[in-house]
Amino acid sequence: MRSKDKISYFYDGDVGSVYFGPNHPMKPHRLCMTHHLVLAYDLHKKMEIYRPHKAYPVELAQFHSADYVEFLHRITPDTQHLFSNELARYNLGEDCPVFENLFEFCQIYAGGTIDAARRLNNQLCDIAINWAGGLHHAKKCEASGFCYINDLVLGILELLKYHARVLYIDIDVHHGDGVEEAFYFTDRVMTVSFHKFGDMFFPGTGDVKVILNSLLFIAVKCFSSNSSFTLWNEILIQVVLKDIGEREGKYYAINVPLKDGIDDTSFTRLFKIIISKVVEMYQPGAIVLQCGADSLAGDRLGCFNLSIDGHAECVKIVKKFNLPLLVTGGGGYTKENVARCWTVETGVLLDTELPNEIPENEYIKYFAPDCLLNIPNGHIENLNSKSYLSTIKMQVLENLRSIQHAPGVQMQEVPPDFYIPDFDEDEQNPDEHMDQHTQDKQIQRDDEYYDGDNDNDHNMDM
């Protein structure tokens, strides 16, 4: 056990002024709300706070294609009508709109995750937090699910410079498809995603991919034999989780597809069993944890029944492994609950239990009328039966038995971090401490906030 974790926290108030549009569920103002709660609970006094550097195009191109990065750099709301073909090619539109300062927004949240990884690599901290990051759907050459740049992939690539194996864990309600896809063919990154699957839920990956006719043919063949029931059971278990990686990465993509309404007890029990076994078998050098808050009860786009304590329990479990840990945000569309959740989890990472009564802060009226950290219990029917969860658990553990214990890798000389001398004079030093960010107060728009219960459109992204 480490005596006391040193924690680096990354925040830039400029992310709060970003505006996706009046009808878009993604509201970056949730980051300002989170930060002001962190300040209100005096958590900033227990960690080092940094303004991230704005990631350079050459850094973003470590994963994304250069032409895609260049397109994001030059596109604006005023010029997008000139680029209809490119908009379609790169999947920008209703879900991933073009808005003012789009590229700067990407630079800030990606820069935060890159900086977090570098501080971990240089042993300047034990845990690094970037709540603005965690945009896990973005692909190499296109935007997806409200995500433009995949900061998680960029952070993992940084960690791989120093660590032979990196474990990625995702507790967003949506499958972490962009990260999985990026590392699908390698054993140097194991991805583990706990998410809702089925009912055309975005992004539609992370579970069984079997053609119905083929499955029906196998069923007929099974029931024509004497051992039909046993054989059919074996086949069903084998096809439950087929999205497992390929080539060197086979069995290194782990998916835990869940149904509506899963509760704290079921989720945390399954999480602890699977993640404990993953760490034992894979022996990662570092962990990246995506804490998407749309898996909370009451989220506008979610369908789980997790409380903040249940969500935070997963953070506690991962922290106890005492490995270098990079923590990011992700989805989360009931903003006051996102702020509650990520503040509580900042406290968890600092070993600090927070009073339930929310202190006075810039956004206190949005936590009314109770102004408490705890959120109401979810009331969605739990469709995850014990037998279903047992089947999922058995398949994951069976897949883990198929991997090598701690696969080796030929480590090479570590390349230096990017040094780009001709930056703008007003560019912030990424290692410059912020003065508690009290200057980062933002002016909110009237349409930034929702009334809540009337907006529950589960068919949208992230």
| pLDDT 10s digits, 274-285 | 999 999 999 999
Mean pLDDT of the chain, nearest integer: 87
- The stretch 108-113 carries a mean pLDDT of 99
Q: Name the pLDDT band for 242 (thresholds 50, 70, 90).
A: low
| Model pLDDT, residue 4 | 84
Active site residue 137: yes
Is the predicted pLDDT of residue 447 greater than 80, yes or no? no
| Model pLDDT, residue 435 | 45
| Model pLDDT, residue 403 | 87
**Residues comprising the binding site for substrate?**
95, 145, 333
| Model pLDDT, residue 306 | 98
**Residues comprising the binding site for a divalent metal cation?**
172, 174, 294
| Model pLDDT, residue 406 | 67
How far, in Å, CA of 321 to CA of 330, rounded? 22
If one compares 222 and 92, the residue with the highest pLDDT of the two is 92
Is the predicted pLDDT of residue 336 greater than 90, yes or no? yes
CATH number of 7-207+243-410: 3.40.800.20
| Model pLDDT, residue 326 | 99
**Residues comprising the binding site?**
95, 145, 172, 174, 294, 333
- Which range, of 102-111, 185-194, 234-243, 381-390, averages the lowest pLDDT? 234-243
| Model pLDDT, residue 387 | 97
Catalytic residue (one of 137, 163, 195, 437): 137
- Which range, of 250-264, 365-379, 410-424, averages the lowest pLDDT? 410-424
Is the predicted pLDDT of residue 459 greater than 70, yes or no? no
Asked if residues 342 and 34 have their Cβ atoms less than 8 Å apart, the reply is yes
- The stretch 289-306 carries a mean pLDDT of 98
- The stretch 396-417 carries a mean pLDDT of 74
| Model pLDDT, residue 347 | 99
Peptide bond into 407 cis (omega under 30): no
Q: Name the pLDDT band for 207 (thresholds 50, 70, 90).
A: confident
Asked if residues 30 and 338 have their Cβ atoms less than 8 Å apart, the reply is yes
Listing from the earlier edge strand, what are the strands of the sheet with 189-196? Answer: 48-50, 7-10, 127-130, 325-328, 286-290, 166-170, 189-196, 253-258
Most confident of 201-210, 255-264, 412-421: 255-264
Rounded to two decimals, the pTM is 0.85
Buried b / exposed e across 178-190, counting CB within 10 Å, b at 16+? bbbbbbbebbbbb
- The stretch 334-357 carries a mean pLDDT of 98
| Model pLDDT, residue 211 | 33
| Model pLDDT, residue 144 | 98
